[in-house]
Amino acid sequence: MTVPDLPPVQRQDPPVRVSVSAPYLVPLIVGGLVAVALGVYGRAHTPTGYAVGLAGFSGAQAMKSWLATAAFVLAIVQLVSALAMYGRIPGLRAPSWTGTLHRWSGRAAFLVSVPVAFHCLYALGAQFDVPRVLVHSLLGSFFYGVFVAKMLSLPKRDLPGWTLPLLGGLAFAALTGLWLTSSFWFFTTFGVTF
């Protein structure tokens, strides 16, 4: 009995999967670039020592401490409103205006933080010689990088559900660290002054 010749078996490679995650990496990359750029600028820029202050405060440090405290309080509003919107507070049903409160408290926190960041970068620069100031400088750069990443991620509707809470949580953690290494330190060292 003869066996007919069979055609050679053609080997097929598994299909190549093309990743569609690149558009979602853009906010992270841009946020990372912002953080690095702020850190590099803060380190390379020669601090002027010139205090940019707002009327009503006894000095630049008091101004920074109170504005950072306002930003921190608004960040707490952000945290609580986000937890309410995501249904993470047992027994609390988020009112219809919670989303509006979340957006506007975030905008206000950012606006209040800008004079503080400007003064830190322009007058003081990034300093790495004192551990508290090193941590503060790194957290400041990180905060604005995470903030940019979160803002750029907001319009992307098909992100994994954990993305915005993670970025928001990182921004809150960074702002908490910033407040502890600046305002809290100032108030416990020099007293609560305006």
CB 175 within 8 A of CB 75: yes
Q: What is the pLDDT of residue 5?
A: 67
CA 115/CA 131 separation, integer angstroms: 23
Q: Quickly count: other Cβ atoms within 10 Å of residue 115's Cβ.
A: 17
Q: What is the pLDDT of residue 155?
A: 86
DSSP string, 135-158: HHHHHHHHHHHHHHHHHHHTT-TT
CA 146/CA 170 separation, integer angstroms: 7
Q: In 3D, which of 132, 136, 144 has the Cα closest to residue 171?
A: 144
Place of tokens 């979160």: 150
The pTM score is: 0.83
How many residues are present in the chain? 194
CA 10/CA 185 separation, integer angstroms: 71
CB 74 within 8 A of CB 135: no
Q: What is the pLDDT of residue 180?
A: 97
Q: Which amino acid is at 27?
A: P
19 vs 16, 22, 24, 32, 157, CA distance in Å? Answer: 9, 7, 11, 21, 17
CA 115/CA 117 separation, integer angstroms: 6
**pLDDT by residue, tens only, the chain of 194 residues:** 566 665 666 666 666 555 556 677 899 999 999 999 999 998 898 888 776 666 777 788 888 999 999 999 999 999 999 999 988 888 888 899 999 999 999 999 999 999 999 888 888 888 888 899 999 999 999 999 999 999 999 988 888 888 899 999 999 999 999 999 999 999 999 888 77
